[in-house]
Structure 1
Amino acid sequence: MRNTTVLSEITAICPDPIIAVDGKGVISVFNPAAEKLLGYQADDVVGKMHIRALYSSEADARAVMLTMLSSRLGASGKLEGYETAILSHDGTRIPIRLSASLVKDGDRRGSIGFFHDLTQQKSLEANLKKQSITDDLSGLYNQRYFYSRLSKEMERAKRYGGRVSLICIDLDGFKQVNDRLGHLEGDQVIRRMGQLLQDTIRDSDLAFRYGGDEFMVLLPNTDAEHSMNSANRIRERFNASCFYSPEFAAEGEICLSMSLGVASTDGSEPVDHLIQRADMAMYRAKHAGGDCAVPLQGCADIKTQDAEAIA
């Protein structure tokens, strides 16, 4: 009796949720911390609810038990630091770190586990990851992440027979903004570009600040024709919304326009070849006067003058 009282007192003051189940998997201990985390009252679950109801699937619940029976995370019959997720009363998925042990329950084996809430930790990790792949000024993905995602999308296109396209964007006249209006206004233009791209591209597309006033848009599962449509949509949206665009700027005033180059691939070429083609197509658009999008279909379409232009 004394041991039962001590156990009850320990579970009551423990800051982490403690949940025990009997040999049939029915919850037998549900401490106040578990009530607070999951939104259930102990009276509503003890002796009434099966532990499987707290997991998002049968497979998750089964994985916990199988891991506990193995020695992969601690001795057989014990579990230490196993990361999974459980469901609160309102269906919210809560990431947890579980440490548990099998206990004897008559002829059956029950278990008792400590559930440590990882919500804040996972949120912090997600924020740190986002910061590491995001350009602070534009809010778009950064150049380092660009190379990583482009490589993966090209490998996917090569393996499954799809297409992936790239739009290279450069702002014509951006130097005028910095020289005549100052770098603070130039920064504002970059911020607006970031928001414009996020508002204009599809959910499946990714926009990056490649450097300075140059941007890249990655379009998975998209051929050259459809990526040209996307490029023109971006250019038209820019002209309709930017105060310095050709549609708004009077003669003699600062005028910003877009030069866009489009390249598409089946993933069989090196990554830097696709980037070079998109870059060269952008320079063709720039030499044509800007405010236009130009496609470059393949390496055979690259001329010596193109290479000299970007050298």
Structure 2
Amino acid sequence: MQKEILVTGGAGFIGSNFIEYMLRNTDYNITNVDKLTYAGNMLNMKDFSTDGRYRFFQFDIAIKEQLRMVFDRKYDAILNFAAETHVDRSIENAEPFIKTNIHGTLNLLNFVLQGKAKKLIQISTDEVYGSLNENDFPFTEKSPLSPNNPYSASKASADLLVRSYYQTYQLPVIITRCSNNYGPHQHTEKLIPKIITQALQEKEITLYGDGKNVRDWLYVEDHCRAIHKVLEQGQPGDLFNIGGACEKTNEEVASYILDLLGKSKDLITHVTDRKGHDRRYSINFGKIKTKIGWHPTFSFEEGIKKTIDWYKRKLG
């Protein structure tokens, strides 16, 4: 009998890549729930929308009455990608982040508690750990949570809710925390697609502050492969960091992309730094490598070239 999984936020960047990956590499039946905000749209799903093993509901996970309609079957797992994720937007208005990232996660946990799914995998972020200094050791799964903006605070809150349901109810849950993803389908408000699309159009590329903020970059297909392994091999209560082993400053990323595109670095403009801007993220993913045998396979060079090709096709 084929397995049934529920993916929430499957019209977004990582969620849509995960569904595409799973339909291509497994025989799972997949139900997707997404409320279709600006960052999650029908275009992200067009390549698999007619697949016979896939179905879609345009619902909001924060609205229990809507979500209940999805549970017309028991799922082998829920994979919760649904989230408001843009830091700038969370600084302007935190409320949507609290609603989706916390209340939505709580609703999903309660459906698992009611026996509607066998387990839940919470897709989280390294941003819950806060910021590192230049010479600090990378974050591990034992690093304290120290979020510095409303977005990361909402994700940390959701992670703590998930953990509490494991501790209180022995609910079968797993948390994954990834570093910065990039690849096809990502909204152009994010750094790498913004750089690519602005450069292709010879438009100004703005970098916050001195451009020396460091991120660990992970190609989205590698992330999808990691989540698949966690789905198959992870155990209740597990927590895994998923990193790319690829730390680069924002300025290095912009310069590399401009070089690949043959564009002038004069397109780069530095603007006033963002409030609460974390200086550096770095992920130690030794646990997932040791326990279930995952490691990133795409180099930054390979991933960026594939990403550039995708946005070139998108821009026509």
Q: Same fold, TM exceeding 0.5? A: no
Q: Which has the larger radius of gyration?
A: 1
TM-score for the superposition, normalised by structure 1:
0.24
TM-score if structure 2 supplies the norm length? 0.24
Structure with greater strand percent: 1
